[in-house]
Amino acid sequence: MKKTAIYGALLLALPGCAGQQAQPAPFVYADFVSAKELPYDSPPQVIYRIDDHRFISLERYRDCQHGETFYNDTLQGIRKSFGRGFRENYQGRLIIADSTGKNLAFPASLPPHTACNDRGCTMYIAVSTDGGRTVQSIRYMRSFDPFSDSKDFTIIVSEDALYVGEKISDTTGKMSVDKHPLIPGYRYGEGGPLPEGRKIERGVALPVGLRTPSGQDRYSCDASIRPTNPDAPLK
């Protein structure tokens, strides 16, 4: 009688076990970065538009902080990958106001709560002086919380320079600004000397009156657009 009761209890328990769904694997940033291809079925978003044919797109994203970004110039047939989880996380201002179309700059940051080493995470600006055909990097920030700290930056591209401004006072809004000359053919990020007569100027003022042709001055992502498969395995 006792054995029968135990057997009956086990039978009652079986449907409950069979009905339980396997829990999705936790999201791991390292797996996201190293995956051969992102599986997410989210539709592409334009997160930064310069004009009617030049823009940054966010694609195959899990959310607004985790996807792949591309620079696109539909007129020149240029499409350049900017990697995963970087460009879309910059929270500061960005103005691209070079009327020649040659000078471009796209800052990057990291997703919230990303762990950095004991020296912090180093963040870069992708810079081009040939309309996006080639890109070099300029370091602009080292931080233990690059996502939040990138909010303090204003980056402006003019016809001859890249201005990198960082807010250094919350009460007064005072900014520290560096002016980097933009020189066609120069290899930024390699530490070589600038051509004679050219230098990085410190403590300058940000230029006024400049604007991106589209009027946009920040990356912008619609967080309500999500993939149907956010827990798809990363391989």
Spans of all domains in the chain? 41-202
| Amino acid 61: pLDDT | 99
Split at pLDDT 50, 70, 90, the class of 201 is: very high
Q: State the distance between the two ends of the chain, measured CA to CA, in whole angstroms.
A: 52
Rounded distance between C-alpha atoms, residue 152 and residue 138, angstroms? 17
Is 14 a residue whose pLDDT tops 90? no
Q: Are 104 and 127 a contacting pair, CB within 8 Å? A: yes
Rounded distance between C-alpha atoms, residue 107 and residue 139, angstroms? 9
Helix, strand, coil shares, percent, the chain, to 5: 15, 30, 55
Split at pLDDT 50, 70, 90, the class of 20 is: low
Mean pLDDT of 121-137: 96
Is 68 a residue whose pLDDT tops 80? yes
Mean pLDDT of 146-150: 98
Q: Per residue in 102-133, is it b (16+ CB within 10 Å) or e — as a string?
A: bbbbbbbbbbeebeeeeeebebbbbbbbebbe
Helix (H, G, I), strand (E, B) or coil at 60: strand
Using one digit for the tens of pLDDT, what is the confidence trace for 165-187?
999 999 898 999 999 999 998 88
pTM reported for the whole predicted model: 0.88
Cα angle 75-68-135, degrees, rounded to a multiple of 5 = 55
